[in-house]
């Protein structure tokens, strides 16, 4: 009677032998797979760097293209700013991080120089406008996307720069270490819609807030945070609040 593998001491050897060859085969297979993957990755990297290098100028100068490129990177899980080397190998290939850091510096510049008049909160469109002016480029060259991205690169500095969504597709950039509570965000959004002016009645009517809540939110922004200004000559209400960061300023 023949059992599989036979009997006796020799069977142990045979079993060991076959186990070893299976293991060998398996490691050979996975090695081949890893090699394959590695070569694919290398190929991908080469292709991507080639792409990035050959389109470097377009990426730096054309905002639509830059946006597409960044979207492509994020969809395949590659962060153009991250990488093994300082600044990321993307940065080296593209010179992208210089651009981004440069933009970051200019964002800080605008935020700090306008802080006096807006209390440290600036509307995204206004920020983009002012940064563009600072760089001496026309509108559309720098996008909200670029600014948002640059602000992310500022995060390690711990200066508290943050992009806030205030609803209605409006974004604000906060440059002070001050938490805006939900009510203040709503006030910002409503003021935004009114060109900067806000009165208790608007918050009552549109948001259904009790008068006390509206007053408390506005008075806090006025007195405690310096985020809005008082107008005591308002035609309809006698007293109105103005949020400078929600006002349109033409310099």
Partner 1 sequence: MAHSPQTTPSGFLLPSIHSAPPFFTEQPNPNTQAQHTEQWTRIILTYARHKRLFVLRVEDAAVPGGDWDEVLRNERINRRMLPSHLSSILASMVSKNLAVYEPPKQIHAVLLYWRLPEEWADVLHSWATATGQLNTILTYYEITDPPVPSPLSNMPLPLLRRAINVLTRSGRAQIIGVADGEGVRLFAGGK
> Between 209 and 241, whose beta carbon lies closer to partner 1?
241
Between helix 144-154 and helix 63-75 the angle, nearest 10°, is 60
Compute the distance between CA of residue 225 and CA of residue 184 in angstroms, rounded to an integer: 10
188 contacts 243 by C-beta, under 8 angstroms:
yes
> Between 189 and 227, whose beta carbon lies closer to partner 1?
227
Work out whether strand 121-123 and strand 170-174 pair parallel, antiparallel, or are unpaired. Answer: antiparallel
In the chain, the largest separation of any two C-alpha atoms, in whole Å, equals: 111
> Between 14 and 248, whose beta carbon lies closer to partner 1?
248
Other residues' Cβ atoms within 10 Å of the Cβ of residue 219: 14
Cα dihedral 96, 101, 105, 110 in deg (nearest 10): 50
Instruction: Give Cβ neighbours of residue 171 (< 8 Å, ≥ 6 apart).
Output: 123, 124, 144, 148, 163, 164, 165
> Between 152 and 178, whose beta carbon lies closer to partner 1?
178
Q: Pull the structure tokens for residue 40.
A: 């694919």
> Between 34 and 223, whose beta carbon lies closer to partner 1?
223
At its nearest, how many Å lie between partner 1 and the CB of residue 194? 10
**Residues forming the site for partner 1 (CB under 8 A):** 116-117, 119, 195, 197, 222-223, 226, 229-235, 240, 242, 244, 247-251
Compute the distance between CA of residue 177 and CA of residue 180 in angstroms, rounded to an integer: 9
Compute the distance between CA of residue 156 and CA of residue 24 in angstroms, rounded to an integer: 48
167 contacts 156 by C-beta, under 8 angstroms:
no
> Between 51 and 249, whose beta carbon lies closer to partner 1?
249
At its nearest, how many Å lie between partner 1 and the CB of residue 242? 4
> Between 127 and 240, whose beta carbon lies closer to partner 1?
240
């Amino acid at each position: 009677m023949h059992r599989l593998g036979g009997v006796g001491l020799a069977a142990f050897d045979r079993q060991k032998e076959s186990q070893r060859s299976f293991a060998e085969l398996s490691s050979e297979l996975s090695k081949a797979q890893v090699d394959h993957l590695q070569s694919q990755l290398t190929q991908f990297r080469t292709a991507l760097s080639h792409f990035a290098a050959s389109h470097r100028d377009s990426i730096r100068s054309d905002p639509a293209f830059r946006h597409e490129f960044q979207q492509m990177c994020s969809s395949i899980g590659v962060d153009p700013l991250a990488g093994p080397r300082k600044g990321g190998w993307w940065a080296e290939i593209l010179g992208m991080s210089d651009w981004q850091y440069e933009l970051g510096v200019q964002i800080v510049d605008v935020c700090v120089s306008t802080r006096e008049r807006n209390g440290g909160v600036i509307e995204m469109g206004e920020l983009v406008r002012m940064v563009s002016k600072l760089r001496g480029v026309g509108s559309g060259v720098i996008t909200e996307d670029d600014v948002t991205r640059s602000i992310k690169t500022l995060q390690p500095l711990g200066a508290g720069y943050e992009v806030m969504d205030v609803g209605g597709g409006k974004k604000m950039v906060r440059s002070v270490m001050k938490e805006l509570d939900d009510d203040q965000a709503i006030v910002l959004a409503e003021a935004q819609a009114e060109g900067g002016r806000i009165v208790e009645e608007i918050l009552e009517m549109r948001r259904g807030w009790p008068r006390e809540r509206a007053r408390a939110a506005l008075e806090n922004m006025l007195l405690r945070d310096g985020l809005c200004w008082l107008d005591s000559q308002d035609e309809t209400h006698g007293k109105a609040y103005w949020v400078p960061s929600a006002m349109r300023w033409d310099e």
